[in-house]
Amino acid sequence: MRRVAIMKYPGTNCENETLYAVRNVSKLDGKVVWHPDFKAREWDAVVLPGGFSYGDYGRAGLIASWSKASRELLNAFDYGLPILGICNGFQVLSELGILPGNLLYNASAKFIAKWVNVKFHNPRGPWLSLISDGEVLPMPIAHAEGRYYIDDVEPIIGEPWAEYLENPNGSIQSIAGVSRKGGVALGIMPHPERATFPWQSLKYTTGGRRIFESIGESLRRGW
């Protein structure tokens, strides 16, 4: 069975929901891995879950990007290991330069937690293989530093990317997620692991499930 590492830093708080989704939706062998123990060559994919790595000191994702695990993540990106960064994981990947741009404080300067509708563009790659172009999926957000910014958006929108239908945090071009290498590395601010099973919300919505179904199907097909 293909193996997926769920990276845990000090302050990560969504690893168990992510692990449950990987095991029960992706149908893959998932394991929570303490960050210094992560070795890229031992895994078929890696997820960086949400939370507040190192308490978000300095800025979100900064200190985690200095860790030993980050060197392994850069190696993993170089040889094409599928990488997913969710919320704080997205912030870490942006700090590392694996994903372009930066995540700034929300325009409201407040922490925002709410359900949003996310529209996917040019979906492809292991994390989005079962999602249709233009498909809208509901997922929750929970962040204070989720306002995406980059000087030039043109290279980004040539890759798979996602936008908020209602921009909750002031992101440039309503960007909710970006990718590189045709979707091999994907960062998304909404939490798919919190929208995977109907019992997780009174809304009974499972928009995030499609991402976990996609990686399972992609790895079983030999990605």
Beta pairing partners, 113: 142
Residue 149 parent element (H or E): strand 147-149
Which residues are catalytic, by number? 87, 191, 193
- Alpha-helical regions (H) of the chain: 15-21, 68-78, 88-96, 154-157, 209-220
For the segment 24-36, what is each residue's pLDDT rounded down to a tens digit? 999 999 999 999 9
CA 104/CA 60 separation, integer angstroms: 9
- 69 near 34, Cβ under 8 Å? no
- 99 near 179, Cβ under 8 Å? yes
Residue 12, pLDDT above cutoff 80: yes
Residue 205, pLDDT above cutoff 90: no
Mean local confidence (pLDDT), 12-19? 97
Distances in Å between the Cα of 109 and the Cα atoms of 57, 112, 113, 138, 141 are 17, 9, 13, 24, 15
pLDDT at residue 197 in the model: 96
pLDDT at residue 120 in the model: 98
- 143 near 105, Cβ under 8 Å? no
For the segment 119-144, what is each residue's pLDDT rounded down to a tens digit? 999 999 999 999 999 999 999 999 99
Mean local confidence (pLDDT), 175-188? 98
Mean local confidence (pLDDT), 38-49? 97
Beta pairing partners, 45: 4
Q: Which sign, positive or negative, has the C-alpha torsion 167, 97, 217, 51?
A: negative
Q: Is the pTM for the entire model greater than 0.85? A: yes
Residue 18, pLDDT above cutoff 90: yes
Q: Model confidence at 110, in pLDDT bands (50, 70, 90)? A: very high
Residue 19, pLDDT above cutoff 90: yes
| Domains of the chain and any CATH numbers | 3-220 (3.40.50.880)
Report percent pLDDT > 90 for the chain: 96
Beta pairing partners, 115: 140
- 135 near 223, Cβ under 8 Å? no
